[in-house]
Chain A
């Protein structure tokens, strides 16, 4: 590891801690964890700015604007992501791991990574909409609940990533 100061946690310790956070989330709020909903909300704000009527009537995001007295961003998933940003930031700063950089393999250029990161984001954004959740909102949350579809989802994520790994290997190794 090229980490200059502190090592990362043992993966089993980290997994146990993540499991406790997920369990706490269920017990406190009845929801699991999640993230992709926040990006759907951010996109919805942009679309609503450009055409409020269209956005309010859209089947995917219309419900966000159902209550005009409340901001569309005043939602559980957005606050969860805000917390994740604060907690992740605190962890990175206190471990002295905050650094502005582009992570890439030894054979990849920065620009190449930028293009692929953006393209990967688009694919994941579309996928999270179709699957109604992402690695946290589906795989972790539904996995712990033993929801059948979430287990299908999880193996599908791994399958998709392994299927393309060879083609983008120069980016990473």
Chain B
């Protein structure tokens, strides 16, 4: 094949936009079914209650990564034929922090807010209003803020190039990192659930004589 379909077949702009709509439909459908049309599902990771966001994200990244690098090694679609994102270390660090602040304060990120909006969530609508306003502020102040976009520019750097290992080994390492993180967040969820449930029996009045000891923390959160 040699590259992405749109390039190989030199598809028209209109056809490419049709494909974009279809890919977008899959994107929106999956985000909604993942539970990301609700901001409380998104925020709960930051209180250690439900690491759904991390599980979905890391599984998605690992799946697409394995597919991409398989196609690259098989010579079907070289990784260099797709739009690889350049690295701007400082810009991505600062911008990432701001998006993280926006995520926990606002309850959404840009992609999920679209799904929230079409799920009828008023907070998603207001978040989107903020997104448009924030983008406009940046454009209005572009002469001053513009250089921040380029801060820490490193060009195209991939993780295996950075660590001087083969791409296959890096893919394996990232996949193992994902699996390890799933195991770790499962432990964290369980520990915090036990801790939240623990004080309750101690504060409860003494059980009536003769009755069985109250079962502590019967309900499971999920």
Contact = CB atoms under 8 A, between A and B. Distances in A.
Interface of A: 8-9, 11-12, 14-36, 38-40, 42-44, 46-47, 58-61, 74, 76-77, 79-92, 95, 97-105, 110, 113-114, 116-136, 138-165, 168-169, 171-173
Contact of A83 (B28, B98, B145, B158): B28
A150 B89 CA distance: 9
A98 B157 contact: no
Nearest to B106: A120
B96 A97 contact: no
Contacts of B122: 100-102, 110, 114
Given A103-B121, A157-B100, A128 B24 contact: no
Nearest to B61: A143
A11 B63 contact: no
B145 to A, nearest CB: 7
A9 B150 CA distance: 39
Nearest to A84: B28
Contacts of A165: 46-47, 104
B23 A141 contact: no
Contacts of A25: 23, 27
Nearest to A74: B17
Name, among B24, B52, B82, the residue most crowded by chain A CB atoms within 10 Å (CB to CB).
B24
Contacts of B180: none
A124 B95 CA distance: 8
Nearest to A21: B26
Given A117-B126, A121-B113, A164-B105, A18 B56 contact: yes
B47 to A, nearest CB: 5
